[in-house]
Structure 1
Amino acid sequence: MGVHVVLLPWTSQGHITPVVQLGEVLATRSEGFRVTLVVTARVKARFDRTASPLLYHPLIILQVIDDGLNPDPSYTPSFPEVIASLPTQQQSLESLLLALAASPHPATCLISGSFCSWSKSVAVKVGIPRAELWSSPAFIYCIGFYHHCLLSSGLIPFKGKLEDTWITCIPGLPPIRGTDFVKEFLQRQEDFEEDPERFQRVCQYIKDTYGNANEQYRILVNSVYELDSEALDTLCADGVQALAIGPLFLHNTPNKGTEKPVNPLGISAYEEDRSCLQWLDGKEKASVLYIAFGSEAKIAKDEMQELAHALEASEQRFLWVIRPESVVDETSIDSILPEGFQERVTERGKIVSWAPQMDVLAHPSIVAFLSHCGWNSTLETLWLGVPILAWPQRADQGVNKRFIEEHWKVGIAVEKHEGKATRASIGIAIRELMQEERGAIARERVKEYQELLKKTVQEGGSSRRNLDKFIHDLCSLADQKAESSV
């Protein structure tokens, strides 16, 4: 019968990427594995728009389910719209899994993103186990799983000042300043007063998403045990079958992590401007600062202008990705940047709308990465040995920044004043990383972590062992199913 894994990612690119990477690992590493990737019509339209190789991947089968929402690839549904669409998605997924059950290739296991918790009931109804793929580190998963500790500690509804508060009650997580904590988990008193029912709905959503993690078949974490050991050990001690199997992009490199990984799947929602690589070819070794804020962050125009002023004053060479619609209420580059900025920096700066990030980070001209600290970007940066200028924007990024700066010491954070970065604070961070002792330490430390990540996916490495164990367990599931059907 063989193993048939059905993958269901959350629809944002940062969540799709590791799910697709896992699919390719399973399809190429395990003979006889069948992999189906389930996406909405909107995600499929994104693949069509960028002519993604996923459309004709020889080992990954693409299936579209209905969510009843606008299929335009540029459309971003609101959270209430997504919640309202869940019954439609559940019915569509159930129909697909039942059709597979009646086929020669029934599903062995459903692997979905943690934010697809609505798929749990579908898997139970169809009679297959569900594993989660968590695309952030385990220390972030702990915040969701132990969210009740925030309630019992009286931290939510939150009434104080974030800058004066340290969150110390989450098992598996070191103390985190309130300003760095995941805001979605720290609902404020004014939010409760404005809409008490919404507050309860958010708490229930968090409980539904994380609360029964110890009942899931496996929680697969796109992280590395050596980076994330306290959180992983804490979850496992509470009965969660959590396995660190990352970085997923490394498992399919030709020599098990000894060469630069390439992303052949082309799952980017935006067209890459590869001219930036030729531009980098003409620059000196370790001389260019790469700047990118991921696929989803929205940044205020005034902060973008502060960054531009800081770059101009620093005289630093830079490659800057300004994604379409990445600035709040602005669409034109000319309206975002200070007047005459591009002309004044034309000899030492280049701006593109999207870049092939792995190739850029691997380029010898890159000296550092000014990053939003998204987890995919953080893993890529560690692997390629590039120190980080940390400027988190949302979600888990503030907590990631804390680990980058304080625990792993592979980067320096841009300090914020009243919640915003200024040209002075950006300039100080650039200077510290390029010229001062903390920067020298970060450059040395990131090389050590690069070596660590390489070892985790090689024979005997922690992530390789965990992935091999998961593959073995899937094979056992398929064998049991085959025996029961005889």
Structure 2
Amino acid sequence: NEFGVPSYIFFTSAAAFLGTTFYIQALHDEQKVDPTEFKNSDVELVMPCLASPFPAKVLPSLVLGKDLLPLFLRLFRRFREAKGIMVNTFYELESHAINSFSDGNYPPVYPVGPILNLNGHEHDVVSDRKDTHRDIMQWLDHQPSSSVVYLCFGSMGSFGVEQVKEIACGLEQSGHRFLWSLRQPPPNGKMEAPSDYVNPAEVLPEGFLDRTSEIGKIIGWAPQVDILAHPSIGGFVSHCGWNSMLESIWFDVPIATWPLYAEQQFNAFLMIVEFGLAIEIQVNYRMDDCEIVRAEEIEKRIRGLMEFDIKKREKLKEISENSRKALMKDGSSYTWLGRLIQDMIDNMA
């Protein structure tokens, strides 16, 4: 501002989450409400950015933790000083949230997505990843259309041994074909990303790999975009990272939510309640209590995913088509991007 250089923010989560952060910041600063008291409460918030009442305990630890709250508040006070905020979403998916920013209390918000890296692995030069990629795609090529459930929990998602065994039993009992990105948690006390298992059999039920060899495949690293684009994929069990949600929508793949950290619980709420585009595996949206989801529940939810409700399927197909139209000439995101460019020019004049 001192040098007359307009500042803009690119927000990589949902527009509804952006609205929620502004709402919580105003609740604290203007109404003197301490949001950390929402933790483990039954309070439901009625916010302009959401059409449905929102369970406050679904808020991420950045909001509910006393140590992290000052950082959160400082960050979103600064957000209000920006000339505009670009959001990786599109109007047809989040019209309610986007319309809620039009009252003049916020910087202009521009839905310019979905912005996805659809060619993420074309130029991968790591030879072992090339071989892994080829092996995965060849396996998928031999599976019937829409027959495979894909399980992946993001670059930071992993489970302990007990939960891994329950997932394995649930998959086996469901009888559905599966492709499972199984990652090893980092050592206790270390802030590291999960790694690939050298021998997955060590954490799986005895005989699981042999019994499921005709219908399942265990992998580590996953070329997710290429997997979701494959016609054999019929469902996606996901940690609900926003990018993964947009990718699944883009490729018209039904979603079962299993959020683990950050704003993923919020994203699961959006997909299930607000958008009506997903089913849940972890029913209470949270993992704070380290509750183990049992095989019987996993089996039931995977069956529900692979036999996706016809109305949800039709709605997902429509939203998927809209996600592509949004980026075309005269589409909603194309138009919003034009407004952003003009506003940038005007702000520099």
SS at match of 1:145: helix
Q: Which has the higher helix share?
A: 1
When residues 126 and 296 of structure 1 are mapped into structure 2, their CA distance, relative to the original with a 3 A threshold, is farther
Q: Would you say the 8 A contact 1:299–1:327 is kept in 2? A: no
1:208 maps to 2:90: no
Q: Which amino acid aligns with 2:92?
A: E
**Residue pair 2:277, 2:316 contacting (<8 A) in 1 also:** yes
Cα distance, 1:347–1:301 mapped onto 2, change above 3 Å: same
Kindly indicate whether residue 88 of structure 2 is the aligned counterpart of residue 218 of structure 1: no
- How far the C-alpha of 1:306 sits from its partner, in A, is 1.1
| Structure 2 counterpart of 1:444, from 297, 314, 323 | 314
Matching residue of 1:279: 139
> Aligned partners of 1:297 and 1:217: how far apart in 2?
35
Deviation (angstroms), 1:232: 2.2
Residue 148 to residue 472, structure 1, CA distance change in 2 (3 Å): closer
Q: Which residue of structure 1 lines up, in the alignment, with residue 231 of structure 2?
A: 364
CA contact (8 A) 2:25 2:76 kept: no
What residue in structure 2 maps to residue 403 of structure 1? 270
The 5 Å alignment of 1:17-416 reads: 124=1, 127-151=4-28, 152=31, 154=33, 156-158=35-37, 161-162=40-41, 165-173=42-50, 174-187=52-65, 198=67, 202-237=68-103, 238-249=105-116, 261-263=118-120, 271=129, 273-274=132-133, 275-325=135-185, 332=197, 333-416=200-283
Q: How far does residue 473 in structure 1 lie from its aligned partner after superposition?
A: 4.2
Structure 1 residue 356: deviation in Å? 1.6
Is the Cα–Cα contact under 8 Å of residues 412 and 433 in structure 1 kept in the other structure? Answer: yes
1:318-365 CA-to-partner distances (Å, cap 9, x unmatched) read: 011123546978864333322332222111111111122111111111
| Native 8 Å contact 2:39 2:57 kept in 1 | no
Superposition deviation, residue 265 in structure 1: 7.5
Counterpart code for 1:235: F
CA separation in 2, counterparts of 1:312 and 1:131? 49
Opposite residue 468 of structure 1, the aligned amino acid is: G
Instruction: Choose which of 454, 462, 465 in structure 1 pairs with 2:335.
Output: 465
How big is the shift at 1:474?
4.4
**Structure 2 residue identity aligned to 1:128:** V
How far did 1:468 drift?
2.3
Residue 314 and residue 266 in structure 1: after superposition, are their counterparts in 2 closer, same or farther (change >3 A)?
same
Contact 1:288 1:366 in 2 (8 A): yes
**Whole-Å separation in 1 of the counterparts to 2:172 and 2:32:** 46
Q: After the TM superposition, which residues 415-430 of structure 1 pair with which residues of structure 2 at under 5 Å, given as runs? A: 415-416=282-283, 419-430=291-302
Report how far residue 218 of structure 1 moved: 1.5
Opposite residue 119 of structure 2, the aligned amino acid is: V
Q: CA deviation at 1:153?
A: 7.3
Root-mean-square deviation (CA), in Å? Answer: 2.9
Distance 2:12 2:124 in 1: 16
The one-letter code sitting in structure 2 at the alignment partner of 1:453 is: S
SS in 1 for 2:116: helix
TM superposition shift of 1:264: 6.2
Q: Distance in 1 between matches of 2:32 and 2:48?
A: 13
Q: Cα–Cα, structure 1 residues 161 and 213, in superposed 2: closer, same or farther, change >3 Å?
A: closer
Q: Distance in 2 between matches of 1:356 and 1:392?
A: 20
Contact 1:284 1:365 in 2 (8 A): yes
- For the 8 Å contact 1:411–1:439, the answer to whether it is kept is no
TM superposition shift of 1:180: 3.0
Identity of aligned residues (%): 30
Amino acid at match of 1:431: R
C-alpha distance 169-406 of structure 1, shift in aligned 2 (>3 A): closer
Shift of 1:409: 2.1
Distance 1:225 1:144, change over 3 A: same
8 A contact 1:405–1:412 mirrored in 2 = yes
Listed one character per residue, the Cα deviations across residues 7-27 of structure 1 (whole Å, up to 9, x for unaligned) are xxxxxxxxxxxxxxxxxxxxx
TM-score, L = length of structure 1: 0.62
AA aligned opposite 1:458:
M
Relative distance call for 1:441 and 1:266 in structure 2 (3 A) is: farther
Unaligned stretches of 5+ in structure 2?
none
2:122 and 2:9 map into 1 onto residues whose CA distance is 22
Residues 286, 167 of structure 1: CA spacing in aligned structure 2 closer, same or farther, 3 A cutoff? same
- CA displacement at 1:171 relative to structure 2: 3.3
Partner SS state of residue 227, structure 1: coil
Shift of 1:244: 0.4
Separation in 2 of the partners of 1:343 and 1:130?
57
- In structure 2, the CA distance between the partners of 1:327 and 1:441, relative to structure 1 (3 Å rule), is farther
Provide the secondary structure at the position in 2 that maps to 1:320: strand
